[in-house]
Structure 1
Amino acid sequence: MRASLASLAMGAITTAAAAQETRPDSIRPVPLSAIVISAERSATPMNRTTAAVSRLTADDIERLPQATLADVLRHVPGVAVVDFDGLGKDPQLMVRGFYGGGESEYVVVMVDGLVVNRVHNGTLAWDALPPPAAIASIEVMRGSGSTVAGDAAVAAVVSIRTRPAAERRVAWNVSGGGFGSFDAALDLGGSLAGRGMRLDASADRTEGFRAHAAREGRRLAASVEMTPAWQLSVNAATRRFDEPGPLLESALATNRSASDPMFRFDETEDAELTVGVRHQRSLGSGQVSATATLDRRNATILRTLPLAPGFGDTKERALGTRRAALELQADFGDSGLPGDDHLTIGGRLDVGDLASRYY
């Protein structure tokens, strides 16, 4: 009787297995498009790059809870953002343990292939970067990128691509909050007389969490596709902010939002202008591009150096920088040799000067 039951059970299992094998698969395969990145200076499928690269698209940025570009970068693995002012207006990047503390920077940031780090110390003017609504993609290549973006790219390279000028769009954002905070941004794009044009503007202001910590900035950027091969871009930005200075532990315990009167004159006024021209054309089986940029920055900086408790020396610094850059790059596809090959040849010449005077 036991043998008959066992045979019956095994027969039922075999029949069920056969029925499962003959049932048609109802799940249809969905082909995924290749993710193409340009962190290595040329379009490369992500599964073929040897670098540690993270990529955020415009759709990803829209889904993230962000108000600034620094908020977007917080979501990239390996990237940490430190807020100096507590309101996100003066962020500092920390990648893989490299941190400049606001005095220098180990991350090179490029906007449409143009390096935007400052000449004198490599730091970033976050107010001069595109607003999130104007960004098409962000690529972060972690690790040393000196062969791609110069010797300052010790920790990472952040490549920001803005939306095409001819893309028709209207995007705006207005927000306000505590501490007298106000932000507004506008991004326009489209074609006029057959030429792609883009205009984006932004403005922000805050009184700051602490006393004597007001901050305001303005930015205006425009790009025009003069011909299918030539593009002109202009970026202007101004900013002004107060420096409340450090607090002693005793004063911090009494009022965390206070400011030491010794630093009541500390402030910075900054203005910069960048003009760029880009040319791109086909050459045989490849493509050649050339980019020339000029930028100028003028700043007036008042700082107090503490010499003794309650006593400091206040100096005014007049700072002026200029930079001219020329970049050439040629990309060639399959040469006909066995296998899949790609050749990129390029170079960059960057010349800058610094004028600094203390009063």
Structure 2
Amino acid sequence: MSAQVLLAFDEHPADAATGFALGWDHACHGQLPPAALMQAGNPLWQGYQAAQRAGRAGSRANPPGLGPWLALRRRAWLDGCGFEVLELNPRHLARLARSHCPVSREPLDPARLAEDLVRLRPDCAWAAGHLAVLAPRVRAALGRRDAAAVQVLLQRLQAEDRPEAEGLTRAEWQRLAALLDMVRPLPHAEALARPLGVLPPPRLRLLNPAQGLQALIAWQYLRPGFSARIAQIEAALPTPALRARLRRLHFALLPRVLEAAPQADPQASRHAVEDAWRDTRVQQAWQAFGEALGEAGCSALLERLARGASLDGLSLQTRPLAHATEGWAPAHSVMPQPSRLRRLPVPRAAGRPTGPAASRHAPHAAGRLH
């Protein structure tokens, strides 16, 4: 049974067809929309009512993350920003929740997941792979800046030897810059020159092979038995010279890792490992290893490790360039709806179509590591 209704939409700042589909999903999951959206001319409310009339109310299960997922979709819809609903689903969103902000390192409120999520690529729609949960003051400082703008601000702080700006310390700006760099393609030499600063949050797709390999190496030091796992990475290298360079990097990191005391608080250990990569000796050893390996060598090593290494349960996935940014359409493009929603009647207002004339995919950027 489908909803056969005449929808008379008011002038609305957001896409009406998207709002109708969102309201339909609210009803199917048995979730009442916020009172401010329960108005006769609101597309979301009309979609909710249409699903009820079609007998679909409460017809779907409520998986973990459903509440934040619907709230984030409402936020994106009201902002006029696209939202990729297939891969960025409730269960995926639930896995993004963190206890601490990766930039400020302060505790996060799990009830604010939908509010604290940010797009690290503000030029792209809401989609899996470039999202992170940040503390409110970090989000406020970031604003609408992209990675290039943050780099300019950070360079100015360093040139003027200023300890903070706009509520963030220089170390916090460095971590934020490192996070933003992970989801944009960089020349290999530039990716090598940027200190790691912060370990990638869950489900982030690192678009630069060098940073992917750097993060993979860093992760090994957060659990007991890291020496054996570093030896596995070394064994996957094709030449003795490369293996020797990796050992030099390991011995540069080792004293700082031992200071981190892996058996202590996990957050403190994580922060110590992140900070170790800012050490001059560590950075020099890493650049020497990365330069000798080259961009193609970093990619090949990651592929070999994804296929064959047993790194104590660490999940390593690599994706072809064309697939790594799938769904990262331009921020304000109309996103395709899933097939079950495309079968709904297209909302019309007084004889004129309000939905998109056709769904379209934007060109995708490059990416390698997930």
Which structure is richer in relative contact order (CA contacts within 8 A, separation 6 or more)?
Answer: 2
Larger Rg: 1
TM norm structure 2: 0.26
| Structure with the higher helix share, 1 or 2 | 2
TM norm structure 1: 0.26
